[in-house]
């Protein structure tokens, strides 16, 4: 549809309709405008997949590796593939606008949404982000790079004012957006919650009207982050196009129309916003009949598995008994697999990026499947989550007899059941609120249990009443954890109330099950309701679990210890407060390594952690939050079927004290967050100070070795010749850095057979001297011919 046609459609709408189009009809969609043939535009999160409009474990979506893992591939083709998968998923789920990718900056490793962002380097962010955008949009679905701009940490995220000098803002924080717009023209963009230099981003005329829409000539739709619109006029004049979600916003209920009628907001301003929305609608086919595409997501499984492996970063691989520790010999007779994360891995971070995957292959499952002949023994070691474990679904049954799971009843104000459904045992989340008329919930299930002591936990904010086999065991108000002032607070850091229950013979029915009833009246019914039930049979005893882990490690040929963070630690809505692995995992690693010299540490975390034991173990593989196929991808890499392809997209500190932007620098003071480090973040700061990190930006080993033979700069390219000097095929990420100032200038991926020499052409911005190498700290050769 051409511009003239779009303009004629704008002209057909009344001021009231035009204004109505600019706020959601509900949480995820815009009102349809049948008079111009426009269907309702549907939005969905988010950067690891496409959740759709409900948060429900029965409504599954493909779960891909998190953004940092994708950036670790340094591979434009991989990023394009991810975008295409998102686009296909969106089409399958009737979504027109995907709220991804997240292209803020790894300013500090403490940032809670670090996992959801690509890198500390603006060029790498932009290159990966542009391909994700292009991939999504190649399927006729809009991408929405977010959050414009400087939403790089979470503390007071709704209100902080990022104070940034212009050069830093342009070179570091605006650059990913600018470059993505230039390369892939995203059809939408999301305005952040925070302010920049005194103006909140939904009202920031300088950064939106002047730079984004003026200087860069961008013609897409600027949608607010959810609930980020605070004003009528300032937001309308500041360049915001859509105030989400609905149905209530500062523009809704006729308020924006009235402001236009009264001349407070010029009608041309309104028309420009509507034109942008109609342009987007035309681009995503919302004027045409809906085409629901089935698309069997099963076919994506091997693709996701290989993407995950491609992002795994081999941090260390020392020689043990005359051969590198990894890969593990597939003929290994006895393998110990140790760690909470081997059985309950983190495959995504906390917050709105969550999707409900069709399945998750755990490391333990992946290794067992890959080693059918071996004796694979498992010990959990130490726990690291704050909340109690959820009850395994196979151990709780519907009282109404429909099978395993928990019966959820939606109750009105009088306690009458409005509807009921059978759900899984994970925490239940309703983003956008409960079904209409619902005032409270009742969760019921018959739990397979033994006589004796049990610990239960309920999490959520509101009033709980719990019965076990007809006995009341808890009646309490549970309130939010201090310090969380966030629309997603209940999901991000739910308070948990634990209570002990002694089950006696008469509590169990003839099949050995106890009837559990949890009544929950949420404190707030507005934006989000979340509730969960946890359980364990006795107090967890780390000491005896650790001893059991050491016993299996000692008697195995190889010990694989899977440690990591989780979605409680890495989450939207809160920054991290420590870079340590949670719980006693450092001790677990050290003790296992001390009893078995053939110990491989697999880290299942998406943001840097300090690894004080790193010199004491022969191999460390960094695996991020690794998607629904995580365990299979891990087995592929550990057993050498696939090379670990990743390179760090962010610097890993050796010590807390070395972090260039430490914790206090992400905590606003009097509402202000000063980016006083300027552009000296990540590797730029380490290089500037001459501090050695634990692992450099760009670092990652493979299963082969490389010799850099020659590099020649020629205008806007650097031609690099290199040789695979190992004895197996390999893939290398060739990195070109400008010398002054020290910056990543370009990169390219190349593959070669054992012993083969290859050449690769790397695009760079011309000028100055270049050095070429394997990481910011492993520069092999200077490019000749540089001016």
Q: Is 389 a catalytic residue?
A: no
Nearest CB to ligand BGC, comparing residues 317 and 607: 607
Give the integer Cα–Cα distance in Å for 584 and 568: 16
Nearest CB to ligand BGC, comparing residues 365 and 486: 486
43: which strand partners? 97
Least distance to ligand BGC from the beta carbon of 438, Å? 21
- CA atoms 734, 600, 542, 445: torsion sign: positive
In the 3-class helix/strand/coil scheme, how is 80-93 assigned residue by residue? HHHHHHHHHHHHHC
Neighbours of 138 (CB within 10 A): 14
Residues near ligand BGC (CB under 6 A) are 45-46, 99, 146, 225-226, 352, 488
Q: Half-sphere exposure of 20 toward its Cβ, with a 13 Å CA cutoff?
A: 12
Sheet strand arrangement including 161-163: 199-200, 195-196, 161-163, 672-674
φ and ψ of 679, to 5 deg: -90, 5
Nearest CB to ligand BGC, comparing residues 390 and 527: 527
3-class state of residue 235 by DSSP: helix
Q: The tokens of 171 are what? A: 């070179």
Nearest CB to ligand BGC, comparing residues 44 and 425: 44
Tell how far CA 200 is from the center of its chain: 24
Q: The tokens of 314 are what? A: 């081999």
Active-site hit among 88, 225, 241, 636? 225
Least distance to ligand BGC from the beta carbon of 131, Å? 20
> Which DSSP category does 741 fall into?
T
Nearest CB to ligand BGC, comparing residues 304 and 488: 488
Least distance to ligand BGC from the beta carbon of 571, Å? 11
Least distance to ligand BGC from the beta carbon of 150, Å? 13
| Residue 41, CA distances (Å) to 144, 295, 458, 518, 705 in order | 14, 21, 37, 37, 50
Least distance to ligand BGC from the beta carbon of 448, Å? 36
Nearest CB to ligand BGC, comparing residues 101 and 457: 101
Nearest CB to ligand BGC, comparing residues 382 and 527: 527
Least distance to ligand BGC from the beta carbon of 152, Å? 12
Across 512-541, b (16+ Cβ under 10 Å) vs e yields: ebbbbbbbbebeeeebbbbbbbbbbeeeee
Nearest CB to ligand BGC, comparing residues 107 and 146: 146
Give the integer Cα–Cα distance in Å for 644 and 752: 15
Q: What is the largest CA-CA distance in the chain?
A: 86
Least distance to ligand BGC from the beta carbon of 26, Å? 13
Q: Which of 712, 718, 715 is nearest to 766 (CA)?
A: 715
Beta-strand runs (E) in 364-461: 375-379, 396-397, 406-411, 417-423, 428-431, 440-448, 452-459
3-class state of residue 591 by DSSP: helix
Residue with tokens 């105030």: 243
> Which DSSP category does 566 fall into?
-
Name the pairing type of β-strands 440-448 and 406-411: antiparallel
Least distance to ligand BGC from the beta carbon of 146, Å? 6
Give the integer Cα–Cα distance in Å for 602 and 598: 13
Nearest CB to ligand BGC, comparing residues 74 and 160: 160
Q: The tokens of 664 are what? A: 């206090």
Least distance to ligand BGC from the beta carbon of 142, Å? 13
Q: Which residues are catalytic?
A: 225
């Amino acid at each position: 549809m051409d511009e003239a046609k779009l303009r004629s459609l704008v002209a057909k709408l009344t001021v009231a309709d035009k204004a109505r189009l600019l706020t959601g009809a509900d949480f995820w969609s815009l009102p349809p405008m049948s008079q111009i043939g426009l269907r309702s535009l549907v939005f969905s999160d988010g950067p690891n997949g496409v959740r759709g409009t409900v948060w429900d474990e029965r409504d599954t979506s493909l779960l891909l590796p998190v953004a940092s893992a994708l950036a670790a591939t340094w591979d434009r083709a991989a990023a394009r593939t991810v975008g295409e998968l998102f686009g296909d998923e969106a089409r399958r789920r009737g979504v027109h606008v995907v709220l991804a990718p997240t292209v803020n900056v790894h300013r500090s490793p403490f940032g809670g949404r670090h996992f959801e962002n690509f890198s500390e380097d603006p060029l790498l962010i932009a290159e990966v982000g542009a391909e994700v955008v292009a991939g999504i949009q190649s399927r006729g679905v809009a991408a929405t790079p977010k959050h414009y701009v400087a939403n790089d940490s979470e503390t007071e995220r709704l209100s902080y004012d990022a104070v940034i000098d212009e050069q830093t803002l342009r070179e570091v924080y605006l650059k990913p957006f600018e470059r993505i717009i230039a390369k892939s023209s995203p059809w939408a963009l999301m305005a952040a919650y925070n302010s920049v230099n005194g103006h909140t981003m939904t009202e920031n005329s300088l950064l939106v009207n002047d730079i984004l829409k003026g200087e860069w000539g961008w013609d897409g739709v600027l949608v607010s982050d959810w609930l980020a619109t605070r004003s009528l006029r300032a937001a309308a004049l500041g360049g915001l196009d859509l105030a989400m979600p609905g149905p209530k916003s500062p523009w809704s209920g006729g308020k924006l129309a009235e402001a236009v009628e009264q001349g407070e907001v010029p009608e041309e301003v309104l028309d420009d916003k509507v034109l942008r929305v109609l342009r987007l609608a035309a681009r995503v086919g919302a004027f045409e009949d809906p085409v629901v595409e089935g698309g069997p997501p099963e076919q994506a499984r091997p693709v996701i598995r290989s993407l995950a492996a491609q992002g795994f970063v081999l941090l260390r691989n020392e020689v043990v008994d005359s051969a590198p520790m990894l890969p593990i010999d597939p003929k290994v007779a006895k393998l110990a697999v140790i760690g909470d994360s081997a059985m309950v891995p983190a495959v995504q971070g906390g917050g709105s990026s969550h999707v409900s995957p069709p399945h998750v292959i755990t490391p333990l499952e992946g290794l067992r499947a890959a080693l059918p002949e071996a004796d694979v023994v498992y010990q959990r070691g130490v726990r690291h989550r704050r909340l109690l474990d959820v009850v395994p679904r196979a151990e709780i049954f519907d009282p109404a007899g429909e099978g395993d799971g928990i019966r959820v009843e939606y109750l009105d104000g009088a306690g009458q059941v409005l509807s009921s459904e059978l759900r899984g045992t994970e925490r239940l989340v309703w983003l956008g609120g409960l079904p209409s008329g619902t005032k409270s919930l009742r969760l019921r299930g018959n739990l397979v249990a033994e006589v004796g002591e049990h610990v239960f936990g309920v999490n959520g904010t509101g009033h709980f009443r719990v019965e076990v086999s007809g006995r009341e065991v808890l009646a309490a108000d549970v309130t939010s954890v201090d310090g969380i002032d966030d629309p997603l607070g209940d999901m991000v850091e739910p308070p948990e109330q634990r209570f002990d229950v002694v089950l006696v013979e008469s509590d169990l029915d003839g099949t050995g099950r106890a009837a559990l009833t949890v009544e929950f009246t949420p404190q707030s019914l507005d934006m989000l309701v979340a509730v969960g039930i946890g359980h364990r049979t006795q107090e967890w005893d780390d000491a005896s679990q650790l001893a059991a882990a050491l016993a299996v490690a000692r008697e195995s040929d190889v010990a694989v210890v899977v440690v990591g963070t989780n979605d409680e630690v890495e989450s939207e809505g809160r920054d991290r407060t420590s870079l340590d692995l949670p719980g006693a995992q450092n001790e677990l690693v050290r003790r296992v390594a001390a009893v078995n010299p053939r110990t491989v540490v697999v880290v299942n975390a998406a943001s840097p952690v300090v690894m004080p034991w790193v010199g004491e173990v022969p191999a460390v593989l960094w695996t991020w939050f690794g998607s629904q196929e995580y365990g299979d991808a891990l087995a592929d890499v550990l057993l050498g079927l696939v090379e670990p392809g990743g390179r760090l997209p962010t610097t890993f500190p050796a010590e807390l004290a070395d972090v260039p932007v430490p914790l206090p620098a992400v905590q606003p003071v009097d509402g202000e967050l000063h980016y006083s480090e300027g552009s000296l973040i990540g590797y730029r700061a380490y290089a500037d100070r001459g501090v050695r990190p634990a692992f450099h930006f760009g670092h990652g080993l493979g299963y082969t070795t490389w010799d850099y033979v020659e590099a020649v700069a020629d205008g806007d390219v650097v031609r690099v010749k290199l040789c695979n000097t190992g004895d197996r095929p390999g893939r290398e990420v060739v990195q070109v850095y400008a010398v002054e100032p020290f910056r990543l200038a370009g990169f390219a991926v190349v593959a070669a057979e054992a012993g083969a020499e290859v050449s690769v052409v790397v695009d760079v911005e011309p000028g100055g001297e270049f050095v070429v190498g394997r990481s910011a700290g492993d520069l092999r050769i200077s490019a000749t011919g540089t001016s």
